[in-house]
Amino acid sequence: MRNTIAFSLTLVVLLGASLTATDASQEEQLRKFIEAKAAKRFTNRPSANGPEETDPWADPSSFSDLPTRCQGPFEGSKAADKIVALPGQPPRVNFDQYSGYVTVSKEFGRELFYYFVESPYDAPSKPLLLWLNGGPGCSSLGYGAMKELGPFRVNLDGKTLSRNKHAWNNLANVIFLESPAGVGFSYASNNSNNNNNVGDRRTAEDAFVFLQKWLERFPEYKGRDFYIAGESYGGHYVPQLATVIKFMNELHGTPFINLRGIFVGNPYLDDYKNGKGFVEFLWNHGVFSDEVWAGILANCTFSPSDDWQCFVATHASQKGNIDLYNIYAPICLQSYYGTYHSSSYLAGYDPCIDHYTETYLNNLEVQAALHARINTSWSGCTDLGYNDGPVSVVPTIKKLVEHGLSVWLYSGDMDSVCSITATRYSVKDLNLPITKPWDPWYTPDSEVGGYVQQYEGGFTFASVRGAGHLVPSYQPKRALVLLYSFLKGMLPPADIPN
Amino acid sequence: MRNTIAFSLTLVVLLGASLTATDASQEEQLRKFIEAKAAKRFTNRPSANGPEETDPWADPSSFSDLPTRCQGPFEGSKAADKIVALPGQPPRVNFDQYSGYVTVSKEFGRELFYYFVESPYDAPSKPLLLWLNGGPGCSSLGYGAMKELGPFRVNLDGKTLSRNKHAWNNLANVIFLESPAGVGFSYASNNSNNNNNVGDRRTAEDAFVFLQKWLERFPEYKGRDFYIAGESYGGHYVPQLATVIKFMNELHGTPFINLRGIFVGNPYLDDYKNGKGFVEFLWNHGVFSDEVWAGILANCTFSPSDDWQCFVATHASQKGNIDLYNIYAPICLQSYYGTYHSSSYLAGYDPCIDHYTETYLNNLEVQAALHARINTSWSGCTDLGYNDGPVSVVPTIKKLVEHGLSVWLYSGDMDSVCSITATRYSVKDLNLPITKPWDPWYTPDSEVGGYVQQYEGGFTFASVRGAGHLVPSYQPKRALVLLYSFLKGMLPPADIPN
């Protein structure tokens, strides 16, 4: 007993640095979640070889209560959701924008907020793509839309927007969903009743209901080629939502949602493989010393049997003030006067953009233009008390591949948190024969955009060279080339273009 | 016998890509040298466990024929070497520049060319630093001075220069030596007589004679604190020259050359460790696949016993058109019209600069201003038929540390060719106890400049974060902070400055 108390205290001290972070940015959120989950796993670990976790996503009948068609009358309308203009938006915006709420649980008052941008070029011929950021608890509006692949970036005045010329709505009509309820502008009005089951299951089910109802509001998108993309903890959300859609299509015949594929960047896939890949990546990139690494190798197996010595060994290093989500990126520094500035310069990337985005989205005029609840205190990430998620989504992904879905994973190779090393371990666990070996792929400006390998069933794993966790932020051009290839169902160019 | 022929043919095919490169840039030169040396080692490998190489640098008496004081009258003078102005140099150049030849062998007509820049700030109080680029066969003028740490960079017109505000002559008086004879503007007028012993030994001895004579021409630098810095194959040149100086100082009493330390970046140290570190680095950074890596692990020991299977395994990958000296850097592309352009943008770095430099240094006016042989066809690298160099310089470095010299190695962590991984293996071989463990160090703008570890005897190994092989090209600020710390004999700041 005394040992347990001593352990808990030490654990708090060791985890302190990440748990006391006041700024709940996406950069902190996933790390906090992973650390907390590891601590929980550690304290609750089986005394001997406990039973293996069963796959909670393997049983189709468990979803049979979900609605297949929503019954009218439907709340909300496309016309009401149309955004006249976002405050501070640049001139000549040549595409339509919509945003608003979709009720996913009347009983508990769960309302999911979305932001939808159509393609400026021939929208009716283009597919529909749903984008999901991770955390869990981080906003697809604040991250995906405003910092990564959306049509605008918030300028440093926190009031005006500029165009992102590599926005993904060049290629698709994109929905950014703030998910689950409680994230960003999404909310649950009767929160006390349902905190106990905040987790992967309800997130996927709510997102499914959202899609059903959204398609009633935008009926021209019913049956359109549909893709789900996301990143980070989206490594759970995306394959799980795809699983629900697949089951529901099977249960009820004709596909109402024409799901064609999933495209997930720097995914969080497996608790143990991710932990192993994290420390290995840091060692291989010169962040850990050989000595720290030797300690980890001597004490860790990256399985439930890991004990206190492994925990100590993995926390024995001093990483310094670097962005673990892109170990080479500049960082955002706060001055004594409270202003923010970038520590150095990287073309097109501002590490302080989260602050401008938060300012912008908390402007009442902006909230009104977005049809969001006025006076929402919007923040990029929220602590949800998230408590349901399998140790690994590899079995879920494997079933999607076997089912014939186009499944692509990609990795920005400068991210340590969901590192290429970790993703490789999980890809290996899929145990699929290789059909096209690891080769460079090229962008139109003759850069090696990354490397790509293809497997039986079409499963594809690609790297994006020189990108961190938020691939479209760091390498917008390369990300767009890869998306283009994914949507075309072909590998990106294997040679310098002529 | 048939096997040997088949082997040789295959070897030529496998090596083809690198051996047929027409542009002998530093980016190609070392790779070519390493490949050729590996092929030679492989064909000449001992049938069983052959005798271990003896350390050719361990015997002081072998240098006793070298002159300690040069006998007058001396050729050349400081005044004659003074550069009035370099064509196209920017206004307000506030330091003195010198260049010219020093005869290192009258018999064979070997003339070494140097370019010397004094510090703009209180030059008499500042140390003297000799910079040596590698190759072997590459120019310290074209690379070190014009592309890395010198006071000027050639602009893309090939005619004008701009200031490098992070030039190392902010902190020291810097000599760039084109070494050995045959490199850049250095030459041997009677070349046919002495090609057989082009190698480490003669390079070090000639550099030593150069220094002796140069100090007669610049007598105010006699006894000044003296440092040798360099990079790449300079990992051989620098510790070897230091060894000659140390031996000569011991043999002849009072130090004429007041050698205080050496500072070597991305050094080529050990044939086997470098090969191992190269492939491991590429695998760890997502350039090799897991499958290629598995083939290497199954077939290679990185020792003389490696056979054909290892050779095949290490050549089984397709790296694509990336700069192996900075796997994340933009590359230089040639258009159909013969012009060059950068594939993408990296603040302050132009991958095409070699071309402008070559144009500039082949301008007759520039050659005249530099007191170089007019009509020299200057090129960045030269094939020297280099044929003497130990398998490892680790024993040489170890002796310098034991002798009390300040020895620092540093590694730009994006270089694959002399990777941080390889250097770590060689540092481990020094077998020195750690006194200060691996920790981040900071630049004045609060960036993690890299990591640093110190060992008994003061030996220091530092990384420079986000830099490739040419550290001062990619991370000029971080390189300057590290040089400052080295010259001060203290570790760089361990915290964000307040």
- Find out whether A70 and A251 touch, Cβ atoms under 8 Å: no
CA-CA distances (angstroms) from residue A54 to A391, A430, B116? 10, 17, 71
Residue B225 CB: number of other CB atoms within 10 A? Answer: 16
For residue B196, name the pLDDT band (cuts at 50, 70, 90). low
> What is the predicted pLDDT for the residue at A269?
95
pLDDT average, residue stretch A284-302? 90
pLDDT average, residue stretch A192-213? 84
For residues A58 and A53, what is the distance between their CA atoms, to the nearest angstrom? 12
Residues A321, B428: C-beta atoms closer than 8 Å: no
More confident residue, A318 or A13: A318
Look at residue A175 and tell me if it is in a domain: yes
The CATH number assigned to the domain holding A453 equals 3.40.50.1820
Q: Identify whether B469 is a catalytic site residue.
A: yes
Strands A110-117 and A187-188: antiparallel
DSSP A164-191: -TT-GGGTSEEEEEE-STTSTT-EETTG
Residues B291, A320: C-beta atoms closer than 8 Å: no
Model ipTM value: 0.85
A445 to chain B: closest CA residue:
B343
Q: Which residue do the tokens 């670097």 mark?
A: A322
A-chain CB neighbours of B434 within 8 Å are 291
Range of A54-68, A337-351, B62-76, B202-216 with top mean pLDDT: B202-216
The torsion defined by the Cα of B197, B203, B208 and B212, in degrees rounded to 10, comes to: 90
Which of A281, A332, A438 is the best substitution to test chain B (most B C-beta atoms within 10 A)? Answer: A438
Distance from CA of B204 to the nearest CA of A (A): 32
pLDDT at B74 over 80: no
Q: Is B222 in the A-facing interface, judged by CB distances under 8 Å?
A: no
A-chain CB neighbours of B498 within 8 Å are none
pLDDT average, residue stretch A22-40? 70
> What is the predicted pLDDT for the residue at B44?
67
The CA-based angle A136-B466-B137, given to 5 degrees, is 155
Look at residue B131 and tell me if it is in a domain: yes
Percent of chain A whose pLDDT exceeds 90: 58
For residues A433 and A427, what is the distance between their CA atoms, to the nearest angstrom? 11
Q: Which amino acid is at A296?
A: I
Given B306, B350, B354, B415, the catalytic residue: B415
pLDDT average, residue stretch A136-158? 94
Residues B438, A288: C-beta atoms closer than 8 Å: yes
Comparing C-alpha atoms, which of A234, A134, A235, A238 is closest to residue A184?
A: A134
Residue A264 CB: number of other CB atoms within 10 A? Answer: 30
Distance from CA of B315 to the nearest CA of A (A): 14
Percent of chain B whose pLDDT exceeds 70: 89
Residue A151 CB: number of other CB atoms within 10 A? Answer: 28
Touching B: A residues 356-395, CB under 8 Å: none
A425-455 pLDDT tens trace: 999 999 999 999 888 899 888 888 999 999 9
pLDDT at A23 over 60: no
pLDDT at B428 over 90: yes
Strands A110-117 and B332-334: unpaired
Look at residue B307 and tell me if it is in a domain: no
Nearest Cβ partner for A291 among B327, B344, B434: B434
pLDDT average, residue stretch A323-331? 79
Touching A: B residues 429-448, CB under 8 Å: 434, 437-440, 442, 445-448
Percent of chain A whose pLDDT exceeds 70: 89
Q: Is B428 in the A-facing interface, judged by CB distances under 8 Å?
A: yes
Q: Identify whether A232 is a catalytic site residue.
A: yes
> What is the predicted pLDDT for the residue at B366?
96
Residues A347, B343: C-beta atoms closer than 8 Å: no
B-chain CB neighbours of A455 within 8 Å are none
pLDDT at A70 over 80: no
Look at residue A3 and tell me if it is in a domain: no
CA dihedral for B150, B155, B156, B160, sign (positive or negative): negative
Look at residue B29 and tell me if it is in a domain: no
Residue A172 CB: number of other CB atoms within 10 A? Answer: 26
For residues B265 and B462, what is the distance between their CA atoms, to the nearest angstrom? 9
B-chain CB neighbours of A463 within 8 Å are 286
Q: Identify whether A469 is a catalytic site residue.
A: yes
> What is the predicted pLDDT for the residue at B329?
78
> What is the predicted pLDDT for the residue at A19?
29
Q: Give residue B394's Cα distance to chain centre.
A: 16
Residues A453, B289: C-beta atoms closer than 8 Å: yes
Q: What is the count of structural domains for chain B? A: 1
Q: Is B413 in the A-facing interface, judged by CB distances under 8 Å?
A: yes
Tell me which residue range forms the domain holding B110. Answer: 60-271+389-488
pLDDT average, residue stretch B472-480? 93
The CA-based angle B124-B125-B130, given to 5 degrees, is 80
DSSP B16-44: HHHHT-----HHHHHHHHHHHHHHHHHHT
- Find out whether A199 and A154 touch, Cβ atoms under 8 Å: no
Q: Is A286 in the B-facing interface, judged by CB distances under 8 Å?
A: yes
Which of B283, B326, B328 is the best substitution to test chain A (most A C-beta atoms within 10 A)? Answer: B328
Look at residue A335 and tell me if it is in a domain: no
Q: Is A210 in the B-facing interface, judged by CB distances under 8 Å?
A: no
For residue B71, name the pLDDT band (cuts at 50, 70, 90). low
pLDDT average, residue stretch B55-84? 79
For residues A299 and A311, what is the distance between their CA atoms, to the nearest angstrom? 9
B108-128 pLDDT tens trace: 899 999 999 999 999 999 999
What are phi and psi for residue B104, nearest 5 degrees? Answer: -105, -15
Look at residue A495 and tell me if it is in a domain: no
For residue A18, name the pLDDT band (cuts at 50, 70, 90). very low
A-chain CB neighbours of B440 within 8 Å are 318-322
> What is the predicted pLDDT for the residue at B359?
93
Q: Give residue B475's Cα distance to chain centre.
A: 16
* Three-class secondary structure of residue A474 per DSSP: helix
* Three-class secondary structure of residue A152 per DSSP: strand
Range of A253-262, B149-158, B383-392 with top mean pLDDT: B149-158
Q: Is A331 in the B-facing interface, judged by CB distances under 8 Å?
A: yes
Comparing C-alpha atoms, which of A147, A151, A158, A188 is closest to residue A172?
A: A151
pLDDT at B13 over 50: no
Comparing C-alpha atoms, which of B326, B356, B328 is closest to residue B341?
A: B356
> What is the predicted pLDDT for the residue at A252?
77
> What is the predicted pLDDT for the residue at B195?
60
> What is the predicted pLDDT for the residue at B73?
67
> What is the predicted pLDDT for the residue at A40?
74
Look at residue B351 and tell me if it is in a domain: no
Residue A226 CB: number of other CB atoms within 10 A? Answer: 23
Distance from CA of A287 to the nearest CA of B (A): 7
The torsion defined by the Cα of A81, A84, A87 and A89, in degrees rounded to 10, comes to: 110
For residue B310, name the pLDDT band (cuts at 50, 70, 90). confident
Q: Which residue do the tokens 């064909």 mark?
A: B43
What are phi and psi for residue A276, nearest 5 degrees? Answer: -65, -45
CA-CA distances (angstroms) from residue B228 to A153, A225, B131, B265? 48, 64, 6, 11
Q: Which residue do the tokens 């594929």 mark?
A: A261
Percent of chain B whose pLDDT exceeds 90: 58
pLDDT, chain A, mean: 86
Q: Is A491 in the B-facing interface, judged by CB distances under 8 Å?
A: no
Q: Is B317 in the A-facing interface, judged by CB distances under 8 Å?
A: yes
Range of A71-85, A129-143, A386-400 with top mean pLDDT: A129-143
pLDDT average, residue stretch B314-326? 80
Residues B330, A447: C-beta atoms closer than 8 Å: yes
